[in-house]
Structure 1
Amino acid sequence: MKKIIFSIGLVLLYACADRSQGQRHADDRGVRVEEECVVLAADSPIRERIKTQSIHFSDYQAAFTTSGVVQAIPTGYAEIASPFAGRIVKSFVRLGQQVVPGSPVFSISSPSFFETGKAYYQAKQEMELALKSLNREKDLLRNNVGVAKEVEEAEVNYELRKKDYENALAALSVFQIEPEKMTLGQPLVITSPIAGEIVKNNIVIGQYIKEDAGPLALVADLNKVWVVAHVKEKDIPLIRRLNRADIRLMAVPDTVFSGTVYHVSELLDEETRSVEVIIECDNRDRRLKPFMYGTVQLTDTPSRALVIPTSAILQREDDCYVLVRESEDRYRKVRISVSSSDERQTVVSSGLGDGDEVVTEGAFYLIDAR
Structure 2
Amino acid sequence: MKNEFVVFICAFGIISFTACKGPGQKGAPVVPPTPVNTVEAQQASAIYYDTYPATVVALNNVELRAQVSGFITGIFFKEGEVVQKGKTLYEIDRRKYEAAARQAEAGILSARANFNRAQKDMDRYQRLAEQDAIARQTLDNAVATLETNRSQLAAAEASMLAARTDLDYSLIKAPFTGRIGISLVKLGAQVSPGTTLLNTISSENPIAVDFVVNETEISRFVGMQNKKGVGMDSTFRLQLPDGSFYKHAGKIIAIDRGVDNQTGTIKIRIEFENPADELKDGMSCVLNVLNDLSGERLIIPYKAVVEQMGEFFVFVARDSIATQHKIKLGPKLKDQVVVMDGIQAGDKVITEGFQRLRDSGKIQIGIPPQQGK
CA contact (8 A) 2:80 2:179 kept: yes
**2:141 maps to 1:141:** no
User: Which residue is equivalent to 1:100?
Assistant: 84
CA contact (8 A) 1:242 1:298 kept: no
CA contact (8 A) 1:105 1:191 kept: yes
Rounded Cα–Cα distance in structure 2 between residues aligned with 1:219 and 1:265: 24
Rounded Cα–Cα distance in structure 2 between residues aligned with 1:161 and 1:211: 29
2:208 to 226, 233, 238: 226
* Aligned length in residues: 255
Rounded Cα–Cα distance in structure 1 between residues aligned with 2:166 and 2:296: 60
Q: Percent identity?
A: 15
**2:253 maps to 1:262:** yes
List aligned pairs for 1:201-220, cutoff 5 A: 201-220=183-202
* Residue-by-residue CA offset, 1:138-166 (whole Å, 9 max, x unaligned): 43235437853234213422442244245
Residue 294 of structure 1 deviates from its aligned partner by 0.9
User: Which residue is equivalent to 1:287?
Assistant: 278
CA contact (8 A) 2:205 2:275 kept: yes
Rounded Cα–Cα distance in structure 1 between residues aligned with 2:108 and 2:267: 50
List aligned pairs for 1:354-365, cutoff 5 A: 360-361=341-342
Rounded Cα–Cα distance in structure 2 between residues aligned with 1:118 and 1:78: 32
Rounded Cα–Cα distance in structure 1 between residues aligned with 2:81 and 2:284: 26
CA contact (8 A) 1:233 1:275 kept: yes
2:155 to 149, 152, 164: 164
**2:241 maps to 1:250:** yes
Residue 60 of structure 1 deviates from its aligned partner by 11
CA contact (8 A) 1:268 1:274 kept: yes
Rounded Cα–Cα distance in structure 2 between residues aligned with 1:359 and 1:240: 26
Segment of structure 1 superposing worse, 274-283 or 88-97: 88-97
TM-score normalised to the size of structure 2? Answer: 0.56
CA contact (8 A) 2:122 2:143 kept: no
List aligned pairs for 1:144-155, cutoff 5 A: 144=128, 147-155=138-146
| SS in structure 2 at match of 1:283 | coil
CA separation of 1:134 and 1:279: change in aligned 2, threshold 3 A: farther
* Residue-by-residue CA offset, 1:49-68 (whole Å, 9 max, x unaligned): xx9999xxxx9999633121
Residue 177 of structure 1 deviates from its aligned partner by 2.1
CA separation of 1:152 and 1:138: change in aligned 2, threshold 3 A: closer
| SS in structure 1 at match of 2:175 | coil
| SS in structure 2 at match of 1:278 | strand
Q: Which runs of 5+ in 2 are unaligned?
A: 1-39, 226-230, 301-328, 333-338, 345-373
CA contact (8 A) 1:96 1:198 kept: yes
The letter of the residue matching 1:234 is T
| SS in structure 2 at match of 1:177 | helix
CA contact (8 A) 2:47 2:295 kept: no
Rounded Cα–Cα distance in structure 1 between residues aligned with 2:241 and 2:204: 19
| SS in structure 1 at match of 2:197 | coil
Residue 83 of structure 1 deviates from its aligned partner by 1.3
| SS in structure 1 at match of 2:262 | coil
Rounded Cα–Cα distance in structure 1 between residues aligned with 2:245 and 2:151: 68
User: Which residue is equivalent to 2:51?
Assistant: 65
Q: Which runs of 5+ in 1 are unaligned?
A: 1-50, 179-187, 312-341, 346-357, 364-370
Residue 191 of structure 1 deviates from its aligned partner by 2.2
**2:74 maps to 1:90:** yes
| SS in structure 1 at match of 2:128 | coil
CA separation of 1:201 and 1:239: change in aligned 2, threshold 3 A: same
Rounded Cα–Cα distance in structure 2 between residues aligned with 1:150 and 1:291: 68
1:195 to 159, 164, 177: 177
The letter of the residue matching 1:66 is Y
The letter of the residue matching 1:269 is D
CA separation of 1:172 and 1:296: change in aligned 2, threshold 3 A: farther
List aligned pairs for 1:28-47, cutoff 5 A: none
| SS in structure 1 at match of 2:112 | helix
Residue 87 of structure 1 deviates from its aligned partner by 1.1
Residue 73 of structure 1 deviates from its aligned partner by 1.1
Rounded Cα–Cα distance in structure 2 between residues aligned with 1:81 and 1:306: 52
User: Which residue is equivalent to 2:221?
Assistant: 239
Q: Which has the larger Rg?
A: 2
The letter of the residue matching 2:204 is L
The letter of the residue matching 2:168 is I
Residue 79 of structure 1 deviates from its aligned partner by 2.5
CA separation of 1:290 and 1:359: change in aligned 2, threshold 3 A: closer
User: Which residue is equivalent to 2:101?
Assistant: 117
1:275 to 243, 266, 276: 266
Segment of structure 1 superposing worse, 160-169 or 281-290: 160-169
Residue 115 of structure 1 deviates from its aligned partner by 7.4
| SS in structure 1 at match of 2:280 | coil
Alignment RMSD, CA only? 4.2
